[in-house]
Amino acid sequence: MKSENQPDVVVIGAGVVGLSAAIAAQARGLSVTVLDREGPAAGASAGNAGAFAFTDILPLASPGILKKAPKWLLDPLGPLSVPPAYALKIAPWMFRFWRACQPSRVAHSTAAQTAIMDLSKAELEPFLTATGTLPMLRKDGNLQVYESQAELNASLPGWKIREQHGIEFRHIGQAEMAAIQPGIAPRFTHGTFTPGWFSIADPKLYTLALADHFRAQGGLIERADVTALRAVEGGVEIAVRNGPARRAAKVVLAAGAFSHRIARSLGESIPLETERGYNTTLPGNAFDLRTQVTFGGHGFVVTRLSTGIRVGGAVELGGLELPPNFRRSEAMLKKAQDFLPGLKSDGGQQWMGFRPSLPDSLPAIGRAKAAANVVYAFGHGHLGLTQSAGTARIVADLLTGKTTPIDLTLFSPQRF
């Protein structure tokens, strides 16, 4: 039976996905407590590029990435790297990633990614309005740049897929590129502009604002390092390191890159790995940036935030334990100086964060196999912010026994 102080729901994780899910559950009339080992916006939700990348429907696991991967993997500071000290440990995940790159699987992943992107876009502005954060939304577009006609041509199959899904874009030359974003080096001869690209003023401030809204509606956020879950009569027991166990009628596991460790306590082996993301945030006057610029061939973006200019991206598959390699941040910043010759590189703040990634580039959203009152919502890779509002809607429906707005088969935590 539920005790007097036991919440209806405990959400594990105070990042953007966890807090969005907590707010959505709260809006359904449920009492909610959020537990996090460090507190709100302490992980990837603080240091991401701030984009709602609804046009990124193509999974990272794709034939295209297989063509680029050998070259990239030879460069320890390149767009995709695996530290030698982690290579053996990640081999089983890489094998699953390779299998997910097969064309038939990519087609299914793209369809699933499109469904959750469409849902997340539809849910976003109502969610921002309800939480008082709509003024933080920006619609400045995104400019993808290429160094040759051949590089543009290589991207065309992906743009064709986006076109089939109704995504607006246009391929442009140097003159229009300069009109949209002055100051790009002449080595970039072609571009693709996506006007329907949204971003948030600052991802950390946005996540902290969600935490404030959640608390204002009666929610509790507590620091607690959750180590295990156990199904018990009337709910779920939550084991906490260096503290008493908690109980809740239902649990949402949204602990990002640490989620698979907790899921293990329920007997599930979910192949979650960590895309270690790096960036440098420069002062706001570092460059006159008017739109987000993506240097796809080099694996990073430059983004204008309310708190500065952020240069970051790339994928280092290095787990949770290895120390940060900030040479990756420095390499991206050096390239950004070459590609945007007017960029002032002084006064930057470096960051590294863990982005939870599954081999097929889709998150795990659904019920735990051993406990139907535990809902998983993790593994969004670099799309956690983008898919947060849609994931929150799905989680709230699962918690309240409603039919979910999209088919969750391909997002099943048990699909592996």
Which pLDDT band holds residue 63 (cuts at 50, 70, 90)?
A: confident
Helix (H, G, I), strand (E, B), or coil: what is residue 29? Answer: coil
Mean pLDDT for 72-85 is 79
* Tokens (6 digits) for 319: 């787990």
Query: Is the distance from CB of 340 to CB of 181 less than 8 angstroms?
Result: no
pLDDT of residue 1: 46
Which pLDDT band holds residue 74 (cuts at 50, 70, 90)?
A: low
Q: What domains can you pick out in the chain, each with its CATH number?
A: 1-62+101-141+196-272+358-416 (3.50.50.60), 144-195 (no CATH)
* Tokens (6 digits) for 368: 């735990």
- Please give, one letter per residue, the 3-state secondary structure of 258-306: HHHHHHHHHCCCCCCEEEEEEEEEECHHHCCCCCEEEEHHHCEEEEEEC
Mean pLDDT for 378-393 is 97
Furthest CA-CA distance within the chain:
68
pLDDT of residue 195: 92
Which pLDDT band holds residue 67 (cuts at 50, 70, 90)?
A: confident
pLDDT > 90? residue 340: yes
Mean pLDDT for 195-213 is 96
Tell me how crowded residue 241 is: count the other CB atoms within 10 A of its CB.
10
* Tokens (6 digits) for 161: 């897929």
Mean pLDDT for 271-298 is 95
Mean pLDDT for 143-156 is 96
Query: Which tens digits make up the pLDDT trace of 301-330?
Result: 999 999 999 999 878 899 999 999 999 999
Distance, CA of 127 to CA of 289 (rounded, Å): 28
Query: Is the distance from CB of 89 to CB of 83 less than 8 angstroms?
Result: no
Query: Is the distance from CB of 300 to CB of 80 less than 8 angstroms?
Result: no
pLDDT > 90? residue 79: no
What DSSP line would sit under 301-369, residue for residue? EEEEETTEEEEEEEEEE-TTTSPP-THHHHHHHHHHHHHSTT---TT-EEEEEEEEE-TTS--EEEE-S
Return the percentage of the chain with pLDDT > 90, whole number.
Answer: 86
Q: Which of 256, 264, 207, 276 shows the shortest CA–CA distance to 363?
A: 256
Helix (H, G, I), strand (E, B), or coil: what is residue 121? Answer: helix
Mean pLDDT for 271-278 is 94
Q: Which residue has the tokens 């954060």?
A: 133
pLDDT of residue 3: 55
Distance, CA of 135 to CA of 200 (rounded, Å): 9
Average per-residue pLDDT in the chain? Answer: 94
pLDDT of residue 59: 87
DSSP state of 28: T
Q: At what angle do helices 203-216 and 16-27 cross, to 10 degrees?
A: 30
pLDDT > 80? residue 73: no
Helix (H, G, I), strand (E, B), or coil: what is residue 63? Answer: helix
pLDDT > 90? residue 72: no
Angle at Cα 168 formed by Cα 297 and Cα 164, nearest 5°? 90
DSSP H helices, 8-102, are 16-27, 44-47, 63-73, 87-100
Residues 6 or more apart from 157 whose CB is under 8 A from it? Answer: 64
Return the percentage of the chain with pLDDT > 70, whole number.
Answer: 98
Which pLDDT band holds residue 196 (cuts at 50, 70, 90)?
A: confident
* H-run or E-run covering 210: helix 203-216
pLDDT of residue 134: 98
| pTM, to two decimals | 0.95
Residues 6 or more apart from 290 whose CB is under 8 A from it? Answer: 140, 180, 181, 182, 304
Distance, CA of 7 to CA of 33 (rounded, Å): 7
pLDDT of residue 65: 77
Write the CA distances from 194 to 163, 253, 277, integer angstroms.
11, 34, 24
Distance, CA of 368 to CA of 312 (rounded, Å): 34
Query: Which tens digits make up the pLDDT trace of 357-374?
Result: 999 999 999 999 999 999
* H-run or E-run covering 193: strand 190-194
Distance, CA of 352 to CA of 102 (rounded, Å): 31
The β-bridge partners of 5 are: none
* Tokens (6 digits) for 245: 């166990």
